[in-house]
Chains A and B, each alone.
Chain A
Amino acid sequence: MTFIEKTTDHRKLRRWEGNIEADYIYTSGLAGERFFTELRKNGRILATHCPRCDLTYLPPRMYCERCLAELRDWKEVPATGRVEAFTVARLDEEGHEAPEPQVWAFIKFPGIHGGFVHIVAAPEEKVKRGLEVRPRLKPQPLRTGEITDIEAFEPAEH
């Protein structure tokens, strides 16, 4: 059994417009505070290490997700990473054609668990899995302690 009456005149069916307005401030948290402060001040990228599970987390976490131990062991991430996987975005976030294609990649570092999803500043035909990349940071005075302090990853020069 379904509704006993149904409007067949679509002009009588109504829609109601609205939005969900909200604003957010996300704190970086305990591990994030150290990570972003180090990135902003000294341009260094840090990870945390779990001695029990021998895993080094990037971005750093204050706990090990495997054994739930608190992590106090910090270390610097190697300067050069590799493109693990990538995609080329041709549409912007609203679904319109972007002015130019953007290469987005998941970037991993030797011996490190995790990594970054970030922009690779290189022509799409040059980007391939395994490409060695290095972070290009904003100049120190412009850095704010956010992930965008890394402007992009660039192919590493040898």
Chain B
Amino acid sequence: MRKVAVIGAGMTLFRRRLMETPKELCFEATRMALDSAGIELKDVDAVISGSAPDGFDGVHMKGEYYSDGCGAYGKPYMRVFVGGGTGVFSAISGWYHIASGLADIALVVNEEKMSSCQPHPQSVFAHIWDPILDRPLKPNLIWIFAMEMNRYMTVHKIKKEDIALVAVKNKRNAVDHPCAQLADPNITVDDVLNSEVLAWPVQRLDISPPSDGAAALVMASEDAVKRLHVETPVWMKGVGWCIDSTMWTDRDLYFPEYVARAAKMAYKMAKIDNPRKQIDFAEPYDPFDYKELHHMEGLLLAKKGEAPIMTREGVTQRDGDLPTCPSGGLLGVGNPIAATMGVKIGELYWQLSGQAGKRQIPHEIKTGVTNAWGDLMQYGAVAVMGV
């Protein structure tokens, strides 16, 4: 397999409602990524896009619909979709286009416009459930998070205060992100604990917001990196992905085994045998605050039940020993499902290439890991990146 690097990235603002069409959001992010890589569309061999259910934008086959905004005209093109996992998986797809030798330079463009769906994107989430077993119960998507969070808290005897610390950290980190939707420099644990109870144990400030937005990457082979004299390539060191049983009521929700399997696959490729020591920072997928902790454990960065302790001890702060979500994450920057690539793979790229500005981790970093998670709680996609 050939070596693959990220050599440019772009993203739009993440907001509850944006005026741009899905095509225009794709264009904005793609144009930025090309400019940041210093290349033009003619240099691109293949285009990959990622987006969540068509039901959000309200356009069927939206991958085709917005493809012109992704720069796909006349090029090999595909859309990938693995639920919330798309935020990392489409970059993995970009990686295998290049690693395989099929392409030298690839664009990866992710988009979501959730505000098209009225009155709330929840009405589309209702249709991801099993129509016979689950939908007659009129489920709300937050229920599965609430059930998973409760199981995780109960098994490990975790206090809500310790989970709320994640929301506080990420929303504060997001203050330094120019695209952030829900940054808050003054938020406290009490704010989270006193916020409206939506589906206990989930409260309003435990959740990331639905958002509109797009993000894009330029990925390149080692040959292209040399040819273009890229000064700060960030290498894809390892990738992994895995799906668990779709019968989600048949497994113990306290630990994401599928994330651990995806992580082991990625670590093996990256020659990492002690992730806690060899990984310098992480962007675990954080649509809910407890998910960051759950994923730190799934990514083997913390022992089972110990991620809350690391958080309480400050290890995961931006200047801590293992910073997590230095971008501000989904909790602070926003959650346009697939477009969260901008705060996951995108953040790893900007941090590792020293372009993260005010968000830059203050000490030396060489290796980062990120994951995205999706479907009905069973899909894990993991990427290790480094310099």
Contacts and interface: CB of A to CB of B under 8 A. Distances in A.
B146 to A, nearest CB: 23
A20 interface: yes
B20 interface: yes
Contacts of A32: 21
Of A18, A22, A32, A67, most buried by chain B (CB within 10 Å of CB) is A22
A21 to B, nearest CB: 7
B19 A27 contact: yes
B23 A61 contact: yes
Contacts of A62: 24, 27
Given A29-B20, A31-B24, A24 B117 contact: yes
Nearest to B68: A65
Interface of B: 18-21, 23-24, 27, 30-31, 34, 40-42, 55, 58, 68-69, 71, 73-74, 115-119, 123-124, 127, 131-132, 135
A5 interface: no
Interface string A59-75: 00111011110100000
B270 to A, nearest CB: 33
A68 B47 CA distance: 13
A23 interface: yes
A38 interface: no
Interface in A7-66: 16, 18, 20-33, 61-63, 65-66
Nearest to B118: A23
7 contacts: A20-B127, A27-B21, A30-B20, A32-B21, A61-B23, A63-B69, A66-B74
A24 B118 CA distance: 5
Contact of A30 (B19, B74, B115, B131): B19
- Interface of B, secondary structure class, is helix
Contact of B118 (A18, A25, A61): A25
Given A16-B132, A63-B69, A68-B30, A29 B124 contact: no
B70 to A, nearest CB: 9
A23 B120 CA distance: 9
A22 B58 contact: yes
A24 to B, nearest CB: 4
Nearest to A26: B116
A66 B23 contact: no
Nearest to B124: A22
B344 to A, nearest CB: 24
A65 B24 CA distance: 11
Contacts of B31: 63, 68, 70
Contacts of A26: 21, 58, 116
A31 B124 CA distance: 28
A62 B20 CA distance: 10
Contacts of B135: 18
A68 B27 contact: yes
Given A18-B131, A65-B68, 9 more contacts: A20-B55, A22-B124, A23-B118, A24-B116, A27-B21, A29-B19, A63-B69, A65-B71, A70-B31
Contacts of A31: 24
Contacts of B55: 20, 22
**Which 4 pairs, one residue from A and one from B, show the smallest C-beta to C-beta distance?**
A29-B21, A24-B58, A65-B68, A63-B27
A30 B115 CA distance: 16
Given A18-B135, A31-B24, A23 B123 contact: yes
Nearest to B59: A26
B380 to A, nearest CB: 27
Given A16-B131, A65-B73, A21 B123 contact: yes
A22 B132 contact: no
B360 to A, nearest CB: 29
A22 B18 CA distance: 19
Contacts of B41: 66-68
Contacts of B40: 67-68
Contact of B123 (A22, A25, A63, A70): A22
A25 B116 contact: yes
A31 B20 CA distance: 9
